Structure 1
């Protein structure tokens, strides 16, 4: 462009503003006596006309030496990010109702929902966030003692604990998606006392766990010993029952053997008696036959029988002597 002194006061060459897909510009334009505002979203390359200028944001910025400390008017920029953001912040001088002062560490996640509402309702959203979260944390801690605060710190990761923060963010066109509690830090002296107390509680807890494990081990040993005793008693009972069963079977077998022996003895005695009766019957028959034969021959039976008596008596005496010498064979 040629600088015509009749038309131009000055001509300056500047870089065009380049926008990515997650960035936007707030552009103002003056026509006549009116000023218009428009939002330019990326990706784009913006070159202003003679009557256009960009909105400059002037927000709290992070201290280069401490990411949890924010400095007023330290962050100046033109391109506004539209993607979700996060910030670290430590709420200082938080006091419980028993006068314990501490520093609560937080990490907050937020997202821009309405740029127009943000431009109309605030000049520095970060300052609004800091003031609101400080109010919520101080109100939360002031209602409880230090020991109660220590037990309820998990609630600091719940968005319901930050009603002022959520309401203020919604009012200025933002939304908080999450707040993460990162711990707390009391004074050095109190922290030393707290560390000692934590050490003592941890030691007691570990001792209790050790004692519990020892008790569990002793209980386990006792249980196993009882199981072994029960198994041993069951084995002994089974062995005793088996011995009784064997004794019973042995006795039954012995009784059966004795019964068979007695029956065999009775059978032998009956056979012996039958044999004696048979012998006697045969002898008598022979004697009768002999007498009948002698009678047929005309022998005087009376004299014969009388003559046979001494011999018979002698035979009976002989049998008696033999019986005394050998009663079994006789």
Structure 2
């Protein structure tokens, strides 16, 4: 199999997954959409005969955006809005489709730059899509990030690394509490941060950007299975060897789980695209995904449409304009 960047018509064999050439990027939409951070392919709400990409922005808490797809290309000038009807979620970092009309939207559950807890980030919502907006099916407000609450449903003596996962989450929250108000110290913490979710075989899997867990001398990213939609609570864990990176986005083509990995620290230029067979997602597994290729720095959204993968790249929002607009690249599968 081979990926081809349509913008340059260059190809990268999987035998040589890291292209050295600079990739051209297209601008995604316009202000206020500047920091695209989550994406999923959908049927267009206003025209069910067409496909669209639904996009979340981590600086916008009351609406999502969507763009039509035509001939495997995003029509980026047709930026449409879907308001969140009667609820808000700050720092939206993942959107997952469970069926044609229903989606799960996750706030990152992370701290701000000074390690302060933000209630509006500690949320997720199960919604149904309509032409007029996203209607609420269920809304969950998480009170705090503590392993005793996150894993109270797991009674599994066969999981060799569960206690390590619980400890690293609790320790990172303790460190974040100690660093509250100090931006420089907060940068070192890498506390709890959700940046990917996926729906597979009636289960939601949640990917963490941070913390990473150390197991037998290596650092692993953490994949967690959501128990149900009642609260932030997990009943299975998987470790992913992403070579010291965290999970930044998850998606699927029905056969493989695809993901973006990077960081976990801000500012790192180590982003990659990876894949994993869905059949390998078994409770307590320690898995080594196949890393396919390098991605641009700050790649944060991933969506499939037919044979095309759209990768969305974070920008920088100003007061009245995008200081740095969001971008995207297209990859043919």
TM-score by length of 1: 0.19
Q: Which has the higher helix share?
A: 1
TM-score by length of 2: 0.18
Identify which of structures 1 and 2 has the higher relative contact order when contacts are C-alpha pairs closer than 8 Å and 6+ apart: 2
